[in-house]
Amino acid sequence: MDITTAEQVICSACGEGAPSTYQSGLPDSGWSLPFQSFGYYGGFSDDLEAEFGITVFQRWVLCHDCVMKFLYVFPALAKSIQAGQHPCENDTPCCQFAWRTHPETGVIQIAQLGQWVDKPNSN
């Protein structure tokens, strides 16, 4: 699908539109964070409604750029994420967490220091 004709999803963090070509309603190479997963009794966001069986599904969606900002602010969380987390078909990686299939050889590549490198054992 042409990225210019893709459905747009509004990022909950920056308010900008993000393309949604793979899963309707979810931003490409972004995050979907269910609000209920963050809440617990006595936590920052108390899930008291869930205790009484009241469920209202709510989620935050973050575009790729806002995910990167989040990981920059919380570097310990970024360390838990390995290379090769989301597709990127650009000539240069969009971030250190991207992967692609080499257009000529079909070998899986991951981002490393701003360059594409063959993923170990991807043959």
Residue 41, burial from CB neighbour count under 10 angstroms (0-12, 13-18, 19+): exposed
Q: Are strands 86-87 and 98-101 parallel, antiparallel or unpaired?
A: parallel
Cα dist from 110 to 37, 63, 86, whole Å: 30, 20, 10
- Which pLDDT does position 2 carry in this prediction? 45
Pairwise CA distance, residues 53 & 59, whole Å: 18
CA angle 85-87-92, nearest 5°? 105
- Which pLDDT does position 56 carry in this prediction? 65
Beta-bridged to residue 34, according to DSSP, are: 59
Over the chain (123 residues), what is each successive 10-residue block's mean pLDDT?
69 94 88 80 69 72 95 91 86 93 93 92 62
